């Protein structure tokens, strides 16, 4: 169960939490949001106007509704959405990593939390295209970090494209960790960003094991582009048991619940 903190919050954090609530409930009232965050109705209305201007929601009488076609929020906002779920997933995934392994960690907010959780393994070789992951892992416990460069995408704080994919494809990691934007039981693992989905598809075959990092808000969510089939992953790490239809689709995959 996700519990919102009481008391005043920074505006960008509050807007992030409102978006998080909309991911779960689809619609919220202004009165309920004002009580949850201990702010005035007018403050919530300003937050809603900002979310609407950024294309993540739209106003309705007395409240706000999730814009179903909204793309992912910018990375620095997404990183703190559902943080407790992502941290639990990261700890479970980190337990798969042993000293001396070569691992690949792609971009994504859950990937960031995984890099934070990898405090015990020593002498890792880490390949990543994510700036935050590279910063976290560089110099830690004798780790070697190989950053797949290129043009940095500001919204994703990562590099993508043919040069990035070619660099990452030169490595043969024992585990590749992929943060997933959406999961559909009929269509597979989805994303909201073509370059990100393209990178996953291009490099997954190089890894001995592919691990998908998926928090439960992504279940049966509508992405815009397919990244991977279920058969292309080996382990599915999440924070709660997937619904029956999704479990059926994952029947050949090891599902780890954080």
What DSSP string runs through the chain? ---PPPS---HHHHHHHHHHHHHHHSEEEHHHHHHHHT--HHHHHHHHHHHHHTTSEEEETTEEEE-TT--PPPHHHHTTTTHHHHHHHHHHHHTT--TT-EEEE-SSHHHHHHHHH--S--S-EEEESBHHHHHHHTTSTT-EEEE--SSEETTTTEE-SHHHHHHHTT---SEEEEE-SEEETTTEEEES-HHHHHHHHHHGGGSSEEEEE--GGGBT---SEEEE-GGG-SEEEESSPPPHHHHHHTTTSEEEE-
**Comparing C-alpha atoms, which of 151, 147, 119 is closest to residue 132?**
147
Statement: residue 2 has pLDDT above 60 = no
Same domain, 60 and 85: no
Same domain, 236 and 119: yes
Q: Looking at residue 15, what is its pLDDT?
A: 85
> Which residues partner with 179 through β-bridges?
213
Q: Which of 122 and 77 is assigned the larger pLDDT?
A: 122
How much is the mean pLDDT over the chain?
Answer: 89
pTM of the predicted model over 0.85: no
**Domain limits at 28?**
11-70
Q: Looking at residue 128, what is its pLDDT?
A: 98
Residue 6: inside a domain: no
Residue 4: inside a domain: no
pLDDT band at 21 (very low <50, low <70, confident <90, very high): confident
Same domain, 84 and 47: no
- Across the range 156-171, mean pLDDT stands at 95
Q: Which of 15 and 206 is assigned the larger pLDDT?
A: 206
For residue range 176-214, list pLDDT tens digits in order.
Answer: 999 999 999 999 999 988 999 999 999 999 999 999 999
Domain total for the chain?
Answer: 2
- Across the range 154-163, mean pLDDT stands at 91
Q: Which of 211 and 70 is assigned the larger pLDDT?
A: 211
Q: Which of 177 and 84 is assigned the larger pLDDT?
A: 177
Distances (CA, A) of 234 to 7, 130, 138, 238: 42, 22, 27, 13
Same domain, 54 and 128: no
Q: Which of 23 and 128 is assigned the larger pLDDT?
A: 128
Within 10 angstroms of residue 163's Cβ, the number of other Cβ atoms is: 13
The residue from 27, 45, 70 where one domain ends is 70
Q: Looking at residue 4, what is its pLDDT?
A: 34
Residue 3: inside a domain: no
The residue from 28, 55, 70 where one domain ends is 70
Q: Measured between alpha carbons, how far is 185 from 193 in angstroms, rounded to an integer?
A: 19
Place of tokens 């490099």: 203
Tokens at 38, concatenated: 């201990």
Q: Looking at residue 223, what is its pLDDT?
A: 86
Confirm if 225 and 206 have CB atoms less than 8 A apart.
Answer: no
Residue 161: inside a domain: yes
pLDDT band at 7 (very low <50, low <70, confident <90, very high): very low
The residue from 27, 54, 70 where one domain ends is 70
Residue 127: inside a domain: yes
Q: Looking at residue 124, what is its pLDDT?
A: 98
Q: Looking at residue 69, what is its pLDDT?
A: 54
Same domain, 41 and 88: no
Residue 5: inside a domain: no
Residue 104: inside a domain: yes
Place of tokens 């924070």: 239
Q: What is the CATH number of the domain that holds 156?
A: 3.40.50.1360
Same domain, 118 and 239: yes
């Amino acid at each position: 169960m996700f519990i919102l903190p009481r008391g005043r919050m920074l505006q960008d954090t509050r807007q992030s939490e409102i978006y998080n609530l909309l991911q779960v409930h689809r619609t919220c009232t202004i009165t309920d949001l004002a009580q949850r965050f201990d702010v005035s109705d007018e403050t919530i209305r300003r937050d809603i106007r900002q979310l609407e201007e950024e294309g993540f929601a739209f106003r309705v009488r007395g409240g706000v509704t999730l814009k179903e076609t909204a793309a992912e929020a910018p990375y620095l906002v997404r990183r703190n959405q559902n943080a407790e779920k992502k941290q639990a997933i990261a700890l479970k995934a980190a337990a798969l990593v042993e000293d001396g392994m070569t691992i690949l960690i792609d971009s994504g907010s859950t990937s960031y939390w995984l890099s934070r959780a990898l405090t015990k393994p020593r002498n890792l070789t880490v390949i990543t295209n994510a700036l935050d992951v590279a910063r976290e892992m560089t110099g830690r416990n004798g780790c070697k970090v190989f950053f797949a460069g290129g043009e940095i995408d500001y919204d994703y704080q990562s590099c993508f494209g043919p040069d990035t994919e070619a660099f990452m494809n030169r490595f043969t990691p024992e585990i590749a960790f992929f943060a997933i934007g959406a999961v559909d039981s009929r269509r597979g693992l989805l994303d909201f960003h073509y370059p990100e989905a393209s990178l996953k598809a291009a490099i997954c075959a190089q890894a001995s094991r592919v691990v998908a990092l998926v928090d439960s808000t992504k279940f049966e969510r509508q992405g815009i582009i397919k990244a991977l089939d279920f058969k292309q992953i080996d382990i599915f790490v999440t924070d709660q048991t997937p619904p029956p239809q999704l479990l059926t689709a994952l029947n050949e995959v090891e599902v780890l619940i954080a």
